[in-house]
Structure 1
Amino acid sequence: MRAATPSGTERSTVVTDDGARLTVYTDGPSYAGVTVILSHGFLMTADVWRLQARALSAGGIRVVRYDQRAHGNSAQGRGAMTVDRLGADLVHVIDATTPHGPVVLAGHSMGGMAALTVAARHPELIRHRRPHVALISTSCSRAQLVPGTHPLHWIKAAARASYSYPLCWLPPAADVARRRLPSRHPRAFRPETQHHGDNPPPSRQAIRRTPTAQIAQLWKSLRTYTTAEMLHALDALADRVEIVTGELDDWIPLSQTHELARQLPNARMHEPVMGAGHRLPTDRVGHAAVTQVLNWMAQEGLREPASTAAPLR
């Protein structure tokens, strides 16, 4: 199902094997020689990529973004809310939107974990399509409450624990509390609210319609997730893989970024972007670095012959 929007963005729906309806947003010309597929992070929406989508599509590159299941305009489906499921969703998005031709995969935070899961669980896709891959502010190991040793990190960890533990163990009570939050609060629970805009809803509206139990299930999965020792197909892509992070990332510590680089010794790890935090695609000083890396990878893709590969499913 597709619908062109006044903004030039084409909105469509990809239905997964478990019935989840993923809302997809496509910018740029359909005849472009390369497609950049962007996967967003935990409690965000495809809107986090708005600066990159605007810049890349203006340069004639096709850009595909989507709301992760149970985020933004996408429904959950029947499957469990796990990182493995998000990786399977990404395979569906690739097959449905870009069955042929050069492709760049970029994942931020949890979206990067989804891309790593594709490499670990669906290595045949990586070998068959040979995408360029950008791993941005992400990790191959479980999410941590304490991202570093700075005293401020411990304060932030305490704040995260104050809501993550009730969220995981008392979802019904959390739903009651969320219903009483002001309507503009990013964690407010308003299941009847719909986003009617042409573009992705703002990230602050990512989980307005998502019950706490689903968020808790995903958080528990993030806390146990790992793709370590399972990334051989991705490492074989060598210099087609870029690792980018911010110097001040307070969610994914640099130690985890270095571990990811050790798992992918053939990848290119960039120097951390000075002064930039975790939300790199929209960071005041970091967004330009993300756009530059994606544009360079897309230009590299344009130099390659169009693939005649058929969808894998």
Structure 2
Amino acid sequence: MSNTKRSTVVTDDGARLTVYTDGSSRAGVTVILSHGFLMTADAWRIQARELSARGLRVVRYDQRAHGASAAGEAAPTVDRLGADLAAVINATAPGGPIVLAGHSMGGMAILTMASHRPELIRSRRPRVALVSTACSRAQLVPGNHPLHWAKAAARASYSYPVCWLPPAADVVRRRLPSRHPWALRPDVQHHDTVPPPSRQAIRRTRTKQIAQLWKSLRTYTTADRLHALDELADQVEILTGELDDWIPLSQTRDLAQQLPNARLHPPVLGAGHRLPSDRTGHAAVTEVLSRMAEAALRGSESESTAAAGARL
């Protein structure tokens, strides 16, 4: 995207998060997008293009240890990603209405931030889209169908070596072809203004850091800690794909039970886990975010009108 601007947000532990901004700084609403595990901000390219064309300001960023972002001194965990999101919000949209959208692990970052920083949720009152995400730990087996067990076996075949033999995994990754998504090329830098494609998400990331984050995903939960988010009521919307084989529908329903005031959309028919870029699912995500931004702008204008009337 030719008009994308690149900047850096430095966290309190020294992680340098690469941020990509589309749209005018004078836009009335900022949409902040948080991507999932082993992806980059490029996962939101369709939404960034279409929403900025509608006059909105769109902020994406590469999660720590992903894409063009550095890891920092702290171990990469889901809690840490929630703190990173708060830092991105404060740096890129310190005032004005905001819409937050998180896909998969990015949604977990929103949930974790809400559980640890309820005052931020209550003061900013964002509109929130939780896309293909969960409030409980990642599962290897998404269901009881034989195909699910086959997929679980395939995932275990690489997740266990990654978690328990990181140095050996690094040796193997250095020998993979450069275009392989697991290839390790720590000296390769990305200087473009647009985010690297998701297939290059971890080319600079040591296996130990991937293992730390995966272990955190396997133990993470925000159950019974989402009261501030639930207070936003219908400003929170939950979306998922009918064929999601990473976050099964049972976990989506569990999330909805934790947020009984949120709006749970019917699963997008024919869509899988990568809903923001899914061939059949991306339009649903874009439309929800556009509608949320319009509602946020109307709410802001109404508050400004009311405040002006009170001064007269």
Could you tell me the TM-score, scaled by structure 1's length? 0.95
Q: Measure, in 2, the Cα distance between the counterparts of 1:255 and 1:174.
A: 33
Match of 1:100 among 95, 111, 115: 95
Provide the residue aligned with 2:286 in structure 1: 291
Q: Measure, in 1, the Cα distance between the counterparts of 2:235 and 2:142.
A: 28
Provide the residue aligned with 1:79 in structure 2: 74
Residues 88-144 of structure 1: CA deviation (Å, up to 9, x unaligned):
000000000000000000000000000000110000000000000000000000000
Match of 2:247 among 252, 265, 269: 252
Provide the residue aligned with 1:33 in structure 2: 28
Asked if residue 114 in structure 1 is aligned to residue 109 in structure 2, the reply is yes
Q: Measure, in 2, the Cα distance between the counterparts of 1:183 and 1:208.
A: 9
Provide the residue aligned with 1:311 in structure 2: none
Residues 14-73 of structure 1: CA deviation (Å, up to 9, x unaligned):
000000000000001110000000000000000000000000000000000000000000
**What RMSD in Å do the two structures reach over aligned CA positions?**
1.1
Provide the residue aligned with 2:156 in structure 1: 161
Q: Measure, in 2, the Cα distance between the counterparts of 1:169 and 1:105.
A: 35
**Structure 1 alignment gaps of length 5 or more:** 1-5, 309-313
Range 187-196 or range 29-38, more displaced: 187-196
AA paired with 2:28? G
Provide the residue aligned with 2:140 in structure 1: 145
Asked if residue 213 in structure 1 is aligned to residue 208 in structure 2, the reply is yes
Provide the residue aligned with 2:50 in structure 1: 55
Asked if residue 15 in structure 1 is aligned to residue 10 in structure 2, the reply is yes
Detail structure 1 runs of 4+ shifted over 3 Å in the superposition: none
Residues 153-187 of structure 1: CA deviation (Å, up to 9, x unaligned):
11110000000000000000000010111110000
Match of 2:231 among 229, 236, 247: 236
Q: Secondary structure at the match of 1:303?
A: helix
Q: Secondary structure at the match of 1:107?
A: strand
Q: Measure, in 1, the Cα distance between the counterparts of 2:22 and 2:290.
A: 14
Q: Measure, in 1, the Cα distance between the counterparts of 2:193 and 2:90.
A: 23
Q: How far is 1:305 from its partner? A: 2.2
Q: Measure, in 2, the Cα distance between the counterparts of 1:162 and 1:304.
A: 50
Q: Measure, in 2, the Cα distance between the counterparts of 1:192 and 1:305.
A: 45
Identity of matched residues, %: 78
Provide the residue aligned with 2:270 in structure 1: 275
Could you tell me the TM-score, scaled by structure 2's length? 0.96
Q: How far is 1:197 from its partner? A: 2.0
Asked if residue 189 in structure 1 is aligned to residue 184 in structure 2, the reply is yes
- Greater helix fraction, Structure 1 or Structure 2: 2
Q: Measure, in 2, the Cα distance between the counterparts of 1:198 and 1:28.
A: 14
AA paired with 2:226? L
Q: How far is 1:304 from its partner? A: 1.9
Q: Measure, in 2, the Cα distance between the counterparts of 1:152 and 1:203.
A: 25
Residues 248-276 of structure 1: CA deviation (Å, up to 9, x unaligned):
00100000000000000000000000000
Q: Measure, in 2, the Cα distance between the counterparts of 1:267 and 1:65.
A: 24
Range 224-233 or range 144-153, more displaced: 144-153
Provide the residue aligned with 1:178 in structure 2: 173
**Structure 2 alignment gaps of length 5 or more:** 305-312
Q: Measure, in 2, the Cα distance between the counterparts of 1:304 and 1:85.
A: 31
AA paired with 1:57? S
Q: How far is 1:193 from its partner? A: 1.2
Asked if residue 227 in structure 1 is aligned to residue 222 in structure 2, the reply is yes
Residues 187-214 of structure 1: CA deviation (Å, up to 9, x unaligned):
0001111123220000000000000000
Q: Measure, in 1, the Cα distance between the counterparts of 2:193 and 2:254.
A: 39
